Structure 1
Amino acid sequence: MWRFLEYLLIAGYIVVLLVVSHWIGDQAYSWMPVEATAEAQKVDRLFSFLTAIGAFIILGLLGMMVYSVLFFRAPKNDYSEGHPSRGDLRLEFLWTVTPTLLVLWLAFQSFNIYQQLDILGLQQIVHLHTPLEEPVYAELSDDQPKPAAETIDVFVKQWDWSFRYPNNITSNELHLPVNRRTRLNLHAKDVLHSFYVPEFRLQQYIVPGRDIDIVVTPTRMGEYQLKDALFSGTYFALMTAKVQIESFEQYNQWLTTAENQTIAWENQAVAEYKQPPKTLFKSNWYTVVPEQPAIAEKRKVRNDT
């Protein structure tokens, strides 16, 4: 009878553990920045799943230790050794097979989610090509995405970002239409950089001498911040840019407005460089002198390529 109650207690604890772990996994969504792209939703789903699995393991081990302390405590003044577990094939099978199955399950779930990302078009998310090559798309089917609606060129250097749109407007702000797949063609002019928007859940290295494409599908309108995730020197912290996700009508309106007026911006690194030193002694470390961006308009666009 006691053995039955013991098994019933363990089964009940496992059920409670599953419910609590699932709840903790759901809470993991709130630990991350807001989801601004379709790709971010899939990445967060994987993160939530891994969090739930981790909570199940931690709480399971904690419960096992508490259970052992409560029901298998040695009597007072009993210093004898416990029953050795070596040679117990059932126990060795359990602690070998269980972690193996768990890792395989995690791998399957991860692969499944990344396959879903592929359906969104991430099989094309990183496409390295030489200037003589053209992107090659697989034959489209019902479960495959259409090619990106348009391409925006992204140029990065020490110490600023600039963006060139289909109508040849160049700006220091990245504007993206919501619910439309947009291809970003990334170019680094000097050293390694990294395109990173936390709300996109995508981080892509930008290699000098290579054109690297990423495809994003914005789903949430708002203003976000682009960062360089690779340390590149003195003014690294100033290498940010505003990312504006807006409706398709607002996006076209912005393009039209930008086409009919001069666009000018100030490099934050230039302003910082002009400030007098705030230290008593100069370090004399080599620093790339910031270059003031040129004024760009429809008829006079900087040639960053």
Structure 2
Amino acid sequence: MIRFVLLSAWIGLLVVASHWMGQEAYRWFPVQASNAAPLVDDLFSLETAIGTFVFLGVLSVLLWVLLFNRAEKYDQEDGPPMEGNTRLEIVWTVIPLVIVMAIAVVSIRVNRELGVLGPMEHVHGGELIEAMDHGPGASAAGSGSLQVDVIARQWSWEFRYPGAQVSATELHLPLDVPVTFKLTSPDVLHGFYVPAFRLKQDVVPGRAIDFSLTPTRSGRYRLRDSQFSGAWFAANQADVVVESPEAFGSWLEAASHQPLQPGLSVAADEAERLARQPAGGIRWATVPPAPPPLVNVPGSNSLPHDA
């Protein structure tokens, strides 16, 4: 009876510690800035709590064996064989099965609630990008929503708002308005990743991928290329500005009257600087960066951002 009480008390302590660690996991992330962020954070918190319970449980057994089941000094004999314990075999089979199935059920539910991926179109070369330039387009992907065409290159981002005929190297989004991104790449694999949004989508050459979310917090965030795409992929970043629908409308209107000019491209600037260095300096073989895209709004890459 005493052993049962002590074991129950220890399991209770493990549950409390695991719950605390699961709550602490929320603090490891940047701010939540999209409708997907709470769902992803809840799933990660659950997995952290379960992992903590399993880790502490296994560690407890190891410490118990080391402290109370040690062999006598100079004892070189093998321990007694342990065979045919059907109850134990059932327990260590059922517990991992239940844990894995619980995580799978929650993950499937989160994935269905997110529903971020839309249709994927096959494109060849610059086919779709040419259509973006000359096609009629529409600013809305559906009722009360916005469509933004995203082009990932080596190494710059370009964002086009088809209905307004506006392009930029800084992404502006209206608060609490569903947005569908049409992701394309004319060269290699890239990754569209905004940590504050908690979602990442590969940008695959030869595909036009629809990717949807809703920004839920005003601020300035950072878009990063999450896939290794060459020498300057770490510099392939852009600011994401989430603002009120009124401020977004004003920005879009002002941008439509701006002339085209070279957009931001840290890689192109760095490549040009290296090319001006005297012969004999440090050189490495790399793909030349694509020219900076011509946009209405270059934006800035030096302003502070939330995440």
Instruction: Note whether the superposition's TM-score is higher than 0.5.
Output: yes
Tell me the SS of whatever aligns to 2:32. coil
Instruction: Give CA deviations for 1:75-130 in whole Å, capped at 9, x if unaligned.
Output: 66666554422122222222222222222222222223223324xxx3xx242024
Cα separation, partners in 2 of 1:69 and 1:232, compared to 1, 3 Å:
closer
Which residue in 2 is equivalent to 1:272? 270
Q: Is the 8 Å Cα contact of residues 231 and 286 (structure 2) preserved in structure 1?
A: no
Tell me the SS of whatever aligns to 1:261. coil
Cα separation, partners in 2 of 1:8 and 1:214, compared to 1, 3 Å:
same
Pairing partner for 1:128 from 117, 120, 129: 120
Deviation of 1:266 (Å): 4.0
Cα distance in structure 2, aligned partners of 1:58 and 1:250 = 49
Instruction: Give CA deviations for 1:158-199 in whole Å, capped at 9, x if unaligned.
Output: 221111113111111100111111011112122222211111
Which residue in 2 is equivalent to 1:151? 147
Deviation of 1:229 (Å): 1.6
> What is the letter of the counterpart of residue 174 of structure 1?
L
Computed over aligned residues only, the root mean square deviation of the Cα atoms, in angstroms, reads: 2.5
Pairing partner for 2:42 from 34, 41, 45: 45
Q: Is the 8 Å Cα contact of residues 273 and 290 (structure 1) preserved in structure 2?
A: no
Deviation of 1:251 (Å): 0.7
Map 1:36-75 onto structure 2 (within 5 A): 36-74=33-71
Which residue in 1 is equivalent to 2:197? 200
> What is the letter of the counterpart of residue 25 of structure 1?
G
Cα distance in structure 1, aligned partners of 2:42 and 2:16 = 17
Cα distance in structure 2, aligned partners of 1:272 and 1:69 = 58
Map 1:224-239 onto structure 2 (within 5 A): 224-239=221-236
> What is the letter of the counterpart of residue 270 of structure 1?
A
Q: Is the 8 Å Cα contact of residues 184 and 213 (structure 1) preserved in structure 2?
A: yes
> What is the letter of the counterpart of residue 212 of structure 1?
I
Q: Which runs of 5+ in 1 are unaligned?
A: 133-145, 298-305
Note if 1:288 corresponds to 2:288: yes
Aligned identity (percent) is: 38
Cα distance in structure 2, aligned partners of 1:65 and 1:175 = 53
Which residue in 2 is equivalent to 1:141? none
Cα separation, partners in 2 of 1:58 and 1:35, compared to 1, 3 Å:
same
Cα separation, partners in 2 of 1:17 and 1:238, compared to 1, 3 Å:
same
Cα distance in structure 1, aligned partners of 2:120 and 2:278 = 43
Deviation of 1:64 (Å): 2.0
Q: How many matched pairs?
A: 276
Q: Is the 8 Å Cα contact of residues 260 and 294 (structure 2) preserved in structure 1?
A: no
Q: Is the 8 Å Cα contact of residues 174 and 244 (structure 1) preserved in structure 2?
A: yes
Cα distance in structure 1, aligned partners of 2:66 and 2:292 = 68
Cα separation, partners in 2 of 1:79 and 1:211, compared to 1, 3 Å:
closer
Cα distance in structure 1, aligned partners of 2:268 and 2:89 = 65
Cα distance in structure 2, aligned partners of 1:266 and 1:35 = 27
Which residue in 2 is equivalent to 1:28? 25
Instruction: Give CA deviations for 1:263-296 in whole Å, capped at 9, x if unaligned.
Output: 5334322321221348944546253254143354
Cα separation, partners in 2 of 1:71 and 1:287, compared to 1, 3 Å:
closer
Map 1:88-237 onto structure 2 (within 5 A): 88-118=85-115, 122=116, 125-130=117-122, 149-165=145-161, 166-237=163-234
> What is the letter of the counterpart of residue 96 of structure 1?
T
Instruction: Give CA deviations for 1:121-142 in whole Å, capped at 9, x if unaligned.
Output: x3xx24202479xxxxxxxxxx
Which residue in 2 is equivalent to 1:9? 6
Q: Is the 8 Å Cα contact of residues 148 and 183 (structure 1) preserved in structure 2?
A: no
Q: Is the 8 Å Cα contact of residues 148 and 215 (structure 1) preserved in structure 2?
A: no
Cα distance in structure 1, aligned partners of 2:214 and 2:20 = 29
> What is the letter of the counterpart of residue 175 of structure 1?
H
Tell me the SS of whatever aligns to 1:242. strand
> What is the letter of the counterpart of residue 13 of structure 2?
V
Cα separation, partners in 2 of 1:147 and 1:78, compared to 1, 3 Å:
farther
Cα distance in structure 1, aligned partners of 2:196 and 2:86 = 49
Farther off after superposition, 188-197 or 63-72: 63-72
Tell me the SS of whatever aligns to 2:33. coil
Q: Which runs of 5+ in 2 are unaligned?
A: 128-141, 298-307
